Amino acid sequence: MKVEYKRVLLKLSGEAFLGRNLHGIDPSVCAHLAKQIRDVVKLGVEMVLVVGGGNIFRGALRSKEFQMERTVADYMGMLATVLNGLALQNALENQNVPTRVMTAIEMHQIAEPYIRRRAIRHLERKRVVIFVAGTGNPYFTTDTAAALRSVEINVDILLKGTKVQGVYSSDPFKDKQAKLFKKLNYIEVINKKLRIMDSTAITFCMENKLPIIVFSLMKEGNLKKIVCGKSIGTIIK
């Protein structure tokens, strides 16, 4: 089967790990994600993953709730992404997919420090690379980390996996009249204040001409269809 994109970064929000849970990690969701990623890797696609941590701790929101300094809360959020990354690594290795976790905050016992050349070498050896701990800096989201890593390691496209089909004019869970966009440009996303990724990430993608596809990862086979060039979800370019 011919593939359209040979090196892909998939951004997973922390909420993607929830499943039916209100908090934490649902093992069945990890298994579901791992199977979809395995099917893509079998096609020869080089896969990179960036994971969020909002299912465990969301720094920007919790800093006020806990009366905590924002930098401390953000570092706690980064550590939450490590838990998700390790859970996903385990699920992938259960599917016999070789995997490496690379972190922006050094913790040698459980993950490799992020080194660009080493990450690329892992990809060339057909290992899935999972980036955790965001950029390693407070005040920057994992969306921004996904955009940054995408450009650093020269991916063909950035994929944002969500619970909905793509980008809508409003929240489809609250507004039955919400319109699904098939195509958007970066300026439209910013001007319409569409909450796909934060404005820093969108601007970075625009400046580096990195296309983004927002799609439903919950539907079986969508990831494989996208890397094979089929029109799924919303493309931003």
pLDDT tens for each residue of 79-90? 999 999 999 999
Identity of the amino acid at 39: D
In this predicted model, what pLDDT tens digit does every residue of 162-209 receive, in sequence order? Answer: 888 899 988 888 888 889 999 999 999 999 888 889 999 999 999 999
Report the C-alpha gap between 103 and 114 in whole angstroms: 5
| Residue 126, both tokens | 């057909």
Using alpha carbons, select from 117, 231, 141 the residue that is nearest to residue 183.
231
- Number of Cβ within 10 Å of residue 214's Cβ equals 26
Report the C-alpha gap between 168 and 105 in whole angstroms: 35
pLDDT of residue 177: 84
φ/ψ of residue 99, rounded to 5:
-140, 145
| Residue 169, both tokens | 């004019």
Give the three-state DSSP class for 191. Answer: helix
Residue 64 in this model has a pLDDT that exceeds 80: no
Percent of the chain with pLDDT over 70: 97
In this predicted model, what pLDDT tens digit does every residue of 15-61 receive, in sequence order? Answer: 888 888 878 899 999 999 999 999 999 999 999 999 999 888 876 66
Spell out the domains of the chain, with CATH numbers in brackets.
7-236 (3.40.1160.10)
Give the three-state DSSP class for 132. Answer: strand
pLDDT level of residue 63 (50, 70, 90 thresholds): low
pLDDT of residue 67: 78
- Phi-psi sector, 47: left (phi>0), alpha (psi -120 to 50), beta: beta
Q: In Å, how far from its chain's centre is CA 151?
A: 14
